[in-house]
Every structure is written in C-alpha cells, then in structure tokens.
C-alpha cells in the first residue's frame, strides 16, 4: 500500500531511493526495508510529526524516548545558534573548559538525587554506559582490588549498542551478532511480574528476583563483583515496572556485599516517571547514573554520567589521569542546548506536571480506554511511560504463536492511523513528549483503541 502512494509522490520516492541505495539503517533489516521504502519524516511540532505525504502523526514515542519537551522549541534552537556562533567546538581534554560544559555540569547536579554531583560527559547513552563500565572497574582497581571487576545486569535489559552496552545489556538477539562479548559480565533474571512470576504475588516475586542477585554474587564471589547495573524501569525491554519492593531489596544486597549500584537513567531520567530521575520514583540510591535521551530532549546528541562522592573522591584523590573520554565530551553546542532544555523544564514545572497531572491522567485514561480490550492482558506504567501486553487469551495470559507477530501488526495499524507506538515483541509501548496535553492523551488513547480493534480483526 505504501508503495502505491509513493508513486504519486516524486519527492518522497527520490529520498526513498537514495536512502535505499546508500543508507544502512540501525536495528533494521535493510534489505526488507529497501523493498518497501522507508517512511520519510519531514517536520515536527509539539507532540506531532509529519511525513512527506502530509500525514500528521501523534508521536507516542517522543522520537525514541527523547523529545521530552516536544518538537519546535525555539529556546533550544536559539541556544544552539548562539553557541555555534560564539564557540562551535573546543575540547575539554587538555586542561581547558568552557562555560557550556561547566554550567551544564552544575545544572545537572542541581537536579540529580543525593550526592551525584560530579559529571562526566559523553555523546550517547551507549558511551555513558561504557564510561560506567570503565569507571567502576577503575574505581575498584585504585582501591587495590583490580579483581573486583564483574558487572551484573539483567536479562532483557537494554544498555545500548556499543560493545560495552551490548555485552552489559540482556538482549539475546544482539548477543548473537558481533560476538564474542566482553568478559566478566553476568546477568540475572528480570523482574517481569506479569510475564514470569507464575503464581507468586508481586511481593514474593520482588524478593525472588532480588534474591537472584544475591545468589549470583555468592556464585562468583562478592570480592569479584564491581557493580550491579539496572534501568529503574526497563524501557526497550518492553516497559517493565518492577514490584514495589524490588529495588529496596537490591539496594540492601549491594550494601551487604559492598557492590556499587549503577542506575541506567537514559530513559527514566529527565521527568519521564514524574521525578527528575527514575531512581527517586523507584526509591533507589545509586552510586552512579547514566543519562542521555531527555537531557537535550534529543535536539543534539549528548549524554552524561553523574557520580556520587564515593567514586568521585576516589578519582579526584588518585594521582593519575583517567584515560577515558570522547572528542566531543561536553560539546559546547550540545551542552548549551541541554542547559536551555533543563532551564525550560524548570520554568514550565514539567516534572511536577508529569507527577501530579498528566502522568496520572495518562495512566488512568489508558486503563479506562484499553483495559477491557480482548487483546490487552496487562497495562503497566508510571508517569508518561507505559507497556501493554497483548495476549491471545486474557484469562490464561496465553500469547499468540510465534508465526503471528501481533506487535508488528499492531504497530503498522498505529502508523497507518496517525499514531506512533512501538512494538517490543508482543508488548506495545508508549513514551510521549512530557508536554502532551489532556486532549492529546485522549487522542492517543482513542487511536490506540481503534488500532487494537483493527489488530484483533487482522488476526481473527
Ligand atoms: C537508549 C538507551 C541506551 C543507549 O543510548 P544511545 O544514545 O542509543 O547510545 C542505553 N540505556 C538505555 C536504558 C537506553 O534506553
């Protein structure tokens, strides 16, 4: 269907064919894509994007979990223009700094929880994760414990796509490609209550999943474990909210065995869950966190690692360079945009809006509109983050057979009806811009209902 339309639209056809000739897409079967042609996105405003056929689409994913303050924010454009003119680049390697890097570090420290007040810059979530891997291992090495270098993460976690991120993450499809992975990384089960708890209550399951960490620590030896790393709420794994007692148990175990706790805040950071960071919403006190996506609302690539006193002081007191960094660490233009983004978030009280107003409204409206749908097994989410399990049988939680890609079918109906939701296996996920209005939430939910109906028809 899409190809018929393309034939009437020479501009889009041109871009599609150039794209097919030269562009290798990330996380894509490029051969299959080239046969149908990529959708060409042309502009964005607020929570909407437009494609080259003029379709207006409600972006229920905020780009890729990142355009938190919405499209078309002049404040961010002006910050970039000004900084480009003033000083488009200078490095921060060789005893130099500049005001955007220094001020952004301060601005980030003003919103991070606890004592996470020292900031290391990177350009992507994956680089931030690689930074955490190297930094926590280095931390233990300078404590005289170079053997304390195993990182523990979870099945179905997403920590990015560099070799470090892929190895630390728990995506089995990714592990098969470009192997071998990094050594000294271990994984435990994910706290996916709806899908994997059997007859256990949420509380029992929370304990069991945390116990898996203790078992793993004891199996490899507490003296060999550097850190546990987890997303407060798993994002790309399908938006999985852990049982309420889970993180407190994890925290206790990390303390008991003197293991650092790292929170990957790349999605949960910057207001997504109704706090500045997901760690606050979930009651986690991490030693180190990564952030990216919402830091600049996706307007320019920038990421950071915020470090608490324990690690920061060790690095600062250790009389040797930390041989790690990126040419564009603290890039002035990206940093200027991130500063403007955080200030805009503060001015508009956006975190409070998510916590007290639009977040609860979104969660309630979704359940009112979708919970009774025959395909919907379970809805879980916090703030402006939601995961919806699609099932063949609500009562038994039976999934569709492997040859029915229910998520893809649903995602395609969404796209064709002016809504972007993402499919993660048989789960549908949404993560709209934080500036979304009540009327736009209503529209999102109504469109989702229609698309779930169409999906049901497609498989009946
Ligand atoms: C997106 C993501 C990353 C990777 O970020 P990139 O900017 O794509 O490298 C890492 N961790 C989490 C939790 C993410 O969602």
Residues of the chain short of pLDDT 70, as ranges, are 1-10
Reported for 166-175, long-range contacts at CB under 8 A and 24+ positions apart, including other chains, are 168/129, 168/133, 168/229, 170/237, 171/236, 171/237
String of DSSP letters for 122-166: ESSHHHHHHHHHHHHHHHHHHTT-TT--EEEEETT----SSHHHH
Q: Which numbered atom of ligand 1 lies nearest the CA of 301?
A: 7
Where do the domains of the chain lie, and which CATH numbers do they carry?
Answer: 39-72+350-459 (3.90.1150.10), 75-347 (3.40.640.10)
Polymer length in residues for the chain: 460
Please name the residue whose Cα sits nearest to atom 13 of ligand 1.
266
Compute, in angstroms, the gap from residue 312 CA to the centroid of ligand 1.
23
**Quick one: pLDDT at residue 265?**
98
Q: Is the peptide bond before 141 cis (omega within 30 degrees of 0)?
A: no
Compute, in angstroms, the gap from residue 453 CA to the centroid of ligand 1.
32
Neighbouring CB atoms inside 10 A of 50's CB total 16
**Quick one: pLDDT at residue 13?**
76
Q: What is the rounded distance in angstroms from the CA atom of residue 329 to the CA atom of residue 308?
A: 19
Q: Which helix (H) or strand (E) holds 427?
A: strand 427-430
**Quick one: pLDDT at residue 293?**
98
**Quick one: pLDDT at residue 5?**
46
String of DSSP letters for 39-86: PPEEEEEBTEEEETT--EEEETTHHHHT-TT-B--HHHHHHHHHHHHH
Instruction: State in Å, rounded, how far the first CA of the chain is from the last one.
Output: 21
**Quick one: pLDDT at residue 6?**
46
Q: Which residue ranges have their beta carbon within 6 Å of ligand 1?
A: 124-126, 129, 158-160, 231, 235-236, 264, 266-267, 292
Count Cα atoms within 13 angstroms, Cβ side, for 294: 34
Please name the residue whose Cα sits nearest to atom 5 of ligand 1.
125
Please name the residue whose Cα sits nearest to atom 11 of ligand 1.
159
**Quick one: pLDDT at residue 106?**
98
Q: Nearest Cα to 260, choosing from 400, 374, 149, 118?
A: 149
**Quick one: pLDDT at residue 1?**
35
**Quick one: pLDDT at residue 8?**
52
For 270-407, where are the E strands, in sequence order?
Answer: 288-291, 303-307, 376-382, 385-390
Compute, in angstroms, the gap from residue 444 CA to the centroid of ligand 1.
25
pTM of the entire predicted model: 0.97
**Quick one: pLDDT at residue 2?**
44
> Which of 26, 65, 125, 385 to probe ligand 1 with, by most ligand atoms within 8 A of CB?
125
Neighbouring CB atoms inside 10 A of 216's CB total 18
Q: Are 185 and 153 in contact (CB under 8 A)?
A: yes
Cα dist from 232 to 67, 382, 436, whole Å? 20, 11, 23
Q: Are 216 and 403 in contact (CB under 8 A)?
A: no
**Quick one: pLDDT at residue 9?**
58
String of DSSP letters for 213-281: HHHHHHHH-GGGEEEEEE-SSBSTTT-BPPPTTHHHHHHHHHHHTT-EEEEE-TTTTTTTTSSSSHHHH
Classified as helix, coil or strand, 305 is strand
Please name the residue whose Cα sits nearest to atom 6 of ligand 1.
125
**Quick one: pLDDT at residue 229?**
98
Classified as helix, coil or strand, 302 is coil
Q: Are 117 and 195 in contact (CB under 8 A)?
A: no
User: 415: which 2 tokens?
Assistant: 């796209």
Neighbouring CB atoms inside 10 A of 415's CB total 17
Compute, in angstroms, the gap from residue 215 CA to the centroid of ligand 1.
28
């Amino acid at each position: 269907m899409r190809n018929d339309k393309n034939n009437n639209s020479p501009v889009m056809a041109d871009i599609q064919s150039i794209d097919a000739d030269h562009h290798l897409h990330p996380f894509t079967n490029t051969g299959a894509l080239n046969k149908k042609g990529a959708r060409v996105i042309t502009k964005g405003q607020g929570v909407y994007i437009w494609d080259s056929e003029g379709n207006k689409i409600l972006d229920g994913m905020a780009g890729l979990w990142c355009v938190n303050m919405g499209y078309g924010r002049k404040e961010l454009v002006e910050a970039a223009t000004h900084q480009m003119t003033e000083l488009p680049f200078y490095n921060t390697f060789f005893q130099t700094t500049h005001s955007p890097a220094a001020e952004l570090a301060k601005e980030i420290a003003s919103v991070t929880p606890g004592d996470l007040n020292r900031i290391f810059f990177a350009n992507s979530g994956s680089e931030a994760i690689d930074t955490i891997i190297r930094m926590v291992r280095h931390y233990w090495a300078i404590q005289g414990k170079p053997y304390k270098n195993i990182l523990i993460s979870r099945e179905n976690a997403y920590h990015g796509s560099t070799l470090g991120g892929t190895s630390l993450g728990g995506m089995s499809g990714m592990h098969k490609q470009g192997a071998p992975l990094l050594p000294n990384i271990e994984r435990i089960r994910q706290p996916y209550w709806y899908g994997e708890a059997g007859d256990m209550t949420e509380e029992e399951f929370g304990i069991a999943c945390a116990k898996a960490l203790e078992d793993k620590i004891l199996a490899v030896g507490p003296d060999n474990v550097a850190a546990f790393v987890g997303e407060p709420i798993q994002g790309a794994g399908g938006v999985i909210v852990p049982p309420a007692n889970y993180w407190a148990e994890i925290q206790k175990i990390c303390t008991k065995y003197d293991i650092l706790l790292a929170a990957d805040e790349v999605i949960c950071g910057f207001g997504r869950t109704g706090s500045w960071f997901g760690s606050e919403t979930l009651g986690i006190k991490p030693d180190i966190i990564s952030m990216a996506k919402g830091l600049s609302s996706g307007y320019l690539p920038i990421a950071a690692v915020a470090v608490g006193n324990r690690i920061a002081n060790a690095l600062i007191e250790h009389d040797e360079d930390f041989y790690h960094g990126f040419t564009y660490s603290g890039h002035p233009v990206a940093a200027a945009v991130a500063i403007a983004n955080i200030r805009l978030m503060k001015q508009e009280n956006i975190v409070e809006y998510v916590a007290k107003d639009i977040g609860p409204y979104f969660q309630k409206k979704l359940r009112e509109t979708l919970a009774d749908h025959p395909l919907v097994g379970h809805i879980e989410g916090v703030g402006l983050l939601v995961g919806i399990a699609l099932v063949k049988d609500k009562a038994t939680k039976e999934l569709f057979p492997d040859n029915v890609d229910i998520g893809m079918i649903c995602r395609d109906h969404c796209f064709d009806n002016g809504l972007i939701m993402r499919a993660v296996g048989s789960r549908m996920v949404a993560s709209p811009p934080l500036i979304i209005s009540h009327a736009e939430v209503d529209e999102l939910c109504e469109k989702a209902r229609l698309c779930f109906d169409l999906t049901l028809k497609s498989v009946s």
